[in-house]
Amino acid sequence: MTPVTPNSFASGPPALIGLGPIAWAKKNLFSDWFNSLLTLIIVAIFSWGLWRLGSWALTMAQWPVIPNNFGLFMTGTYPPALYARIWVLLAIICALAGLSWGVLARNVSILFSRNVRLGLAAIGAFIVLFPPTRPSALKLLPLVALVAAMAAVGRQGGRRFPGVGKWISLAWFLSYFVALWLIGGGLGLTRVSTNDWGGLLLTLLAAISGIALCFPLGLLLALGRRSALPVVRWLSTAYIEVVRGVPLVAFLFMGQVMIPLFLPVGSRPDRVLRAVIALALFSAAYLAENVRAGLQAVPRGQREAAMSLGLNTPLTLGLIVLPQALKIAIPAIVGQFISLFQDTTLLSIVGLAELLGIGRSVLANPAYLGRYAEVYLFLAVIYWVFCYAMALGSRKLEEKLNTER
Amino acid sequence: MRKLGLLAAALGLTLAACGGTTTTATTGGEGTTAPVAGKSRLNVVKERGKLICGVDGGIPGFSFVDESGKYSGLDVDVCKAVAAAVLGDPEAVEYRRLDSTERFTALAGGEVDMLSRNTTWTINRDTQVGLEFAPTTFYDGQGMMVRKNSGIDGLEDFEGKAVCVETGTTTELNLTDQMRKLGVNFEPVVFQDADAAYAAYDEGRCEGMTSDKSQLVARRSTLPNPDDHILLEVTMSKEPLGPVTVNNDSAWYDVVKWVTFGLFQAEEFGITSANIDTFKGSNDPNIARFLGEEGTLGTDMGLNNDFMYAVVKNVGNYGEIYDRNVGADSQFKLERGQNALWTDGGLMYAPPFR
């Protein structure tokens, strides 16, 4: 019996937030006999599944296939002698990520809050406990430290120079080309044929390039479909409807197999490039519909008000309509990006050694025959991490842009 | 201002996109393999300094990527042999991974110089698809795996029993044909995916599992108790697998064909990568011609006269390639069987090198 003060009777509706764990469970899980039964059954099924998975992972699974082929999963058949270039690229990305984080969080009182410290410690502990291969684990730790250090720098810099944000955007933009240069070589570096780009490297590169290409194209198509000019409108609509009626695999096969037949002898674009373009052209049609939904959600009054202020059409679009439409469409657009990221797995069907494709090659190695469960579980975790990160990012962006609070 | 920035960002992305295209295009340096009219692929390969070879990239024992990121396997060694013959360097190969649906288009379109990708030689592919098949490097055939203690000795014993098979492959059709011929009522259990089929066999859902023999043996080694399973003495189909080139390029086809024959011939002579130097200056005129010390066999084809020396020295003879990838020295331990030399009762036979 807990002593009850008379005051608590008079305090209106019960506060839900302060519910203790037992009370919470009682309210949500065991409110009547039926719910209790359901809870017990589901808990039993889940724990049985987890138990089976755990005992498999700890006793039956043979994990060496992952660390022994870690380089393959990350970069495919990229020459190991040039891995240093990938590390440099990783360092640049870590530094930029840390800097952006610091600048974005410049107004937060404590940069390294308890959750962040816990997260960093968890990543560090993970690297030390499960080193993919020893030397690379040693290189990963400084990278984590680099992110933290650049975050601190970014926070200070962000406070002193409030306009630094656009320079960081520019740096990200330029880093894309630096990445292509570091990966592919040329201009003083040894060339690496796109044929040797593979693994997670190719997956990410294809996804990022695809997203960067499909966004502007999708935007234009969406605007075109709502244009007052009939030819533009018809062409945009036709493009969107045709592309949405064709499966992506067919699109990729056309890119890999058909296009070389149409092009004149000697001018044959690179295979990776063809695949990226096919991905982007495909996603653009879906993206256009997402953006169009956003455009339709912007009230007519906004446009009319802009017109009455004397803004011309491009300015109305750029300053009034698009910012609002894109904000509304963020969840759908990010959903499209996530699905584009997952669609890159189809590149393995057209013979590019991206993450799933290189997994197939590793599984064909006689030393690792039959290690399907381990490899596919590992790949699933990688895909989940990236997709969840994108979803998390979109949620933060939505919160940041939410002006109706 | 901020909203203008957004528009600028969108514009920037467009520019980034365009920039991205050109950059990627230039980085794909070796990507162009365009055939030049009237010019043999042999000269194209020589000028490029690199052979572009189409492989599968995911068939145990035939082509896979090892831990150091290098392609290996029986199919891959054939590519290496051709590269050693033409360019003198077995590593001067760029491997293209090709799906079974795009392999012929890729070859016809000039994406790859040759295929070495588990391709079955059929009359239709030879005459209608426009391909030239070099000598078979692996005679495969559809087989049947059963449990040792199941008491099944032949296909007749499958009356009323279940067989696991992949759907949509010729394997499924061959099985049905054979069973219909024998008048056996069996129960096919079809799977979309090879992994699922073998897992079902392992769990005991089917009494038999059918696929190409080489694959059955490879998969058997991954089952919990490999010795509990045996392959029946039946062959339901003929699967001669070998390298492929495109029609109407005799010079290039001859090179691929005779390099492959050379691998067999080297084994017949008893020349291996280890002992090849002891054959230099041999009194046997056949060996002297074979290694390019006499005659003009190599230069007549547009290669170095000692092209077979480069091949065997770097890649080994056919027996070495077989043992290393699928035979005695591999974990599959496949018998030579039909893949033995004709002198040992097999089908591997090279016409004379003279």
Q: Which of residues B212, B237, B262 is at a domain's end?
A: B237
- B161 with B111, same domain? no
Contacts of B9 in chain A (CB under 8 A): 169
Q: Give the A:B interface size as CB pairs under 8 Å.
A: 196
Q: Which residue has the higher pLDDT, B151 or B272?
A: B272
Chain-chain contact of A78 with B106 (C-beta, under 8 angstroms): no
SS3 call for A364: helix
Contacts of A255 in chain B (CB under 8 A): none
Task: For residue B53, give the DSSP letter.
Answer: E
Task: For residue A390, give the DSSP letter.
Answer: H
> Among A59, A187, A195, which would you mutate to test the B interface (most chain B Cβ atoms within 10 Å of its Cβ)?
A195
- pLDDT at A12 exceeding the cut of 70: no
- Does the structural domain A63-75+198-405 have CATH classification 1.10.3080.10? no
The Cα of A152 is separated from the nearest Cα of chain B by a number of Å equal to 25
B138 within 8 A of B339, measured Cβ to Cβ: yes
> Among B24, B56, B202, B332, which would you mutate to test the A interface (most chain A Cβ atoms within 10 Å of its Cβ)?
B24
Contacts of B32 in chain A (CB under 8 A): 266, 268
What pLDDT was estimated at residue B17? Answer: 40
What pLDDT was estimated at residue A382? Answer: 93
> ipTM, 2 decimals?
0.78
For residue range A360-370, list pLDDT tens digits in order: 889 888 888 87
- B113 with B262, same domain? yes
- pLDDT at B235 exceeding the cut of 80: yes
Q: Which of residues B177, B211, B237 is at a domain's end?
A: B237
- pLDDT at B352 exceeding the cut of 50: yes
What are the extents of the domains in chain A?
63-75+198-405, 79-191
Model-level pTM? 0.82
- B206 with B251, same domain? no
Q: What are phi and psi of A384, to 5 degrees?
A: -60, -45
**pLDDT band at residue B341 using 50, 70 and 90 as cut-offs:** very high
Cβ neighbourhood burial of A217 (10 Å; 0-12, 13-18, 19+): buried
Count the Cβ atoms, other than its own, within 10 Å of residue A116: 16
A384 within 8 A of A338, measured Cβ to Cβ: no
Contacts of B323 in chain A (CB under 8 A): none
Of all residues in chain A, the one with the smallest CA distance to B54 is: A351
Contacts of B31 in chain A (CB under 8 A): 193-195, 268-271
- pLDDT at B29 exceeding the cut of 60: no
For residue range A143-152, list pLDDT tens digits in order: 888 888 888 8
**pLDDT band at residue A16 using 50, 70 and 90 as cut-offs:** low
For residue range A35-49, list pLDDT tens digits in order: 899 999 999 999 999
- pLDDT at A55 exceeding the cut of 70: yes
- pLDDT at B242 exceeding the cut of 50: yes
**pLDDT band at residue B34 using 50, 70 and 90 as cut-offs:** very low
Listed by number, the residues of chain B in 243-302 with a beta carbon closer than 8 Å to a beta carbon of chain A are none
B195 within 8 A of A372, measured Cβ to Cβ: yes
The Cα of B11 is separated from the nearest Cα of chain A by a number of Å equal to 7
Of all residues in chain B, the one with the smallest CA distance to A360 is: B58
- B233 with B258, same domain? no
SS3 call for B91: coil
- B221 with B329, same domain? no
Of all residues in chain A, the one with the smallest CA distance to B17 is: A213
Give the separation between CA A247 and CA A245, rounded to whole angstroms: 7
**pLDDT band at residue B274 using 50, 70 and 90 as cut-offs:** very high
Whether B327 has its CB under 8 Å from any CB of chain A: the answer is: no
What pLDDT was estimated at residue A132? Answer: 58
- B66 with B126, same domain? yes
CA distances from A210 to A389, B17, B110 (A): 18, 9, 27
Range of the domain at B77: 1-138+241-354
Q: How many domains would you assign to chain B?
A: 2
Q: Helical H runs in chain B?
A: 2-27, 41-48, 74-87, 103-108, 123-127, 170-182, 194-203, 213-220, 250-269, 285-290, 297-301, 307-315, 318-325
A180 within 8 A of A209, measured Cβ to Cβ: no
| CATH code for position B149 | 3.40.190.10
- B348 with B313, same domain? yes
For residue range A236-282, list pLDDT tens digits in order: 999 999 999 999 988 888 887 777 777 766 566 788 898 999 999 99
What pLDDT was estimated at residue A337? Answer: 94
- B94 with B17, same domain? yes
